[in-house]
């Protein structure tokens, strides 16, 4: 089974990224034909500085490789290293009804957040469809907010197949049910949009400061507390073993266990998991040539995988 996923290099990756998508993807690389691309074309809808985009692309690659992506098992590549994606996006655009894109809630949400109403932002789902269809993906891990875009991909694949014959496989969405909403510093969903994230590899002093600033209620040390829905406990469950999580929950319910204790336990659990990742990332960062080799090889193999599809597409449309 071919599984494909992508991520925009539009900001530093955070705990929500790791537990929301990255970890489940790493689990799949032992069983699936996993393609992971860094969506630097997509990021251009919001990132308008070349150096920033280049550095952010490199940082995403380092984060994924440090946290468990194995280039010997999986394919990691830059979207821009497969120019055929843009070519396919044009062919799909010629079949895409305006109304289909106008109904996409993601576009409306981004406009509401103050982003410019550009063609790139409006046509984002078409480029996403090209990313997926060109690789003939079977499965696409997506968040619930991206599920509609996967439905657009399936619609466009069907329109192309109906017009030109069977060329594209229809991909299915994979939404991990076990991943709950990951709370940020303020209790809302952890998101760059809300400025409430804890980055995967920011300075350890900064991480400690952020963890200790997580918003809690005003219950005192001795008072019993309900762990479910408590941001500290919900975050701790992500890092801890089931036994450790149960122990913290029991401590909260008994009383005599303060939020300060829980925050320290959360910090310890973070370091236990991420300190080895941090050390690996630092080693990778010291060898930019090897990182570039990994990405270039990934791009070469991705173009190789896309070539048979593009040959069929060009022949089908008459080019």
What is the per-residue pLDDT for 11?
87
What is the per-residue pLDDT for 105?
76
What is the per-residue pLDDT for 166?
97
Catalytic residue among 192, 208, 264, 280: 192
Enter the tokens of residue 55. 């550095």
The H or E element that residue 83 is part of is: none
Enter the tokens of residue 103. 């109904």
**Beta carbons within 8 Å of 17's beta carbon, 6+ residues apart:** 7, 200
Catalytic residue among 12, 189, 208, 312: 189
192 counts as catalytic: yes
CA 121 to CA 111: how far, in whole Å?
9
286 counts as catalytic: no
Tokens 């396919």 found at: 88
Catalytic residue among 110, 210, 225, 237: 110
Closest CA to 156 of 124, 187, 179, 181: 124
What is the per-residue pLDDT for 66?
98
**Residue ranges per structural domain of the chain:** 2-180+288-317, 201-282
Q: Which residues of the chain, if any, have pLDDT below 70? A: 143-146, 176-180
What is the per-residue pLDDT for 146?
67
pTM for this entry: 0.92
CATH of domain 201-282: 1.10.240.10
CATH of domain 2-180+288-317: 3.40.50.620
What are the tens digits of pLDDT across the range 193-202?
789 999 999 9
The H or E element that residue 211 is part of is: helix 204-212
User: Euclidean distance between the first and final Cα of the chain, in Å?
Assistant: 30
What is the per-residue pLDDT for 179?
55
What is the per-residue pLDDT for 110?
75
189 counts as catalytic: yes
């Amino acid at each position: 089974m071919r599984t494909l996923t992508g991520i925009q290099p539009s900001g530093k990756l955070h705990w929500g990224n790791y537990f929301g998508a990255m970890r489940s993807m790493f689990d799949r690389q032992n069983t699936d034909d996993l393609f992971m691309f860094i969506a630097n074309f997509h990021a251009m809808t919001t990132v308008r500085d070349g150096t920033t985009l280049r550095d952010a692309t490199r940082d995403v690659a380092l984060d994924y490789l440090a946290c468990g992506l194995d280039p010997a098992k999986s394919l990691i590549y830059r979207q821009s290293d497969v120019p055929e994606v843009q070519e396919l996006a044009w062919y799909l655009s010629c079949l895409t009804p305006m109304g289909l894109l106008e109904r996409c809630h993601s576009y409306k949400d981004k406009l509401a957040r103050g982003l410019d109403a550009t063609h790139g932002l409006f046509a984002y789902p078409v480029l996403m469809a090209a990313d997926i269809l060109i690789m003939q993906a079977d499965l696409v891990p997506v968040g619930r907010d991206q599920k509609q875009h996967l439905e657009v991909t399936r619609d466009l694949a069907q329109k192309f197949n109906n017009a030109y014959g069977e060329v594209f496989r229809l991909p299915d969405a994979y939404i991990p049910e076990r991943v709950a909403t990951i709370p940020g510093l303020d209790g809302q969903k952890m998101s760059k949009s809300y400025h409430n994230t804890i980055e995967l590899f920011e300075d350890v002093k900064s991480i400690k400061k952020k963890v200790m600033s997580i918003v809690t209620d005003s219950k005192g040390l001795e008072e019993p507390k309900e762990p479910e829905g408590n941001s500290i406990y919900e975050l701790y469950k992500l890092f801890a073993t089931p036994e450790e999580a149960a122990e913290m929950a029991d401590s909260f319910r008994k009383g005599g266990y303060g939020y300060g204790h829980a925050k320290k336990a959360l910090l310890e659990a973070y370091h236990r998991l991420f300190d080895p990742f941090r050390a690996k990332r630092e080693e990778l960062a010291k060898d930019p040539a090897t990182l570039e080799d990994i990405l270039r090889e990934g791009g070469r193999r991705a173009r190789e995988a896309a070539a048979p599809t593009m040959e069929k597409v060009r022949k089908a449309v008459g080019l």
